[in-house]
Amino acid sequence: MNEIANQKIDQVADLQQQMKNLRDSKNNVTRSLNRLIEAVKLHRGTQWIKSLDPILKDCLKEG
């Protein structure tokens, strides 16, 4: 019985680590998108980014 309990504990720990990794990845993508948005604003001006902004916001929500 202890062996099964230990396996379950290990599985939970693995899942928690995977969730942390996913959160970290999402945060990295969000930071990259924000840097991209800033670069585009500087390069192309605000009119172009206004048309793209809702699309990027949807991506971040789904992220």
Tens digit of each residue's pLDDT (9 = 90 or more) over 14-26: 999 999 999 999 9
Q: What percent of the chain has pLDDT over 90?
A: 41
Query: Could you count the other beta carbons within 10 Å of the beta carbon of residue 30?
Result: 13
Q: What single letter denotes the amino acid at residue 11? A: Q
Please give the C-alpha separations between residue 2 and each of 5, 6, 8, 9, 58, in angstroms, as whole numbers: 5, 6, 10, 10, 46
Grade residue 54 by pLDDT with cuts at 50, 70 and 90.
confident
Name which of 38, 42, 43 is nearest 56 in CA terms: 38
Prediction pTM value? 0.59
Residue 38 pLDDT exceeds 90: no
Average pLDDT, the chain: 82
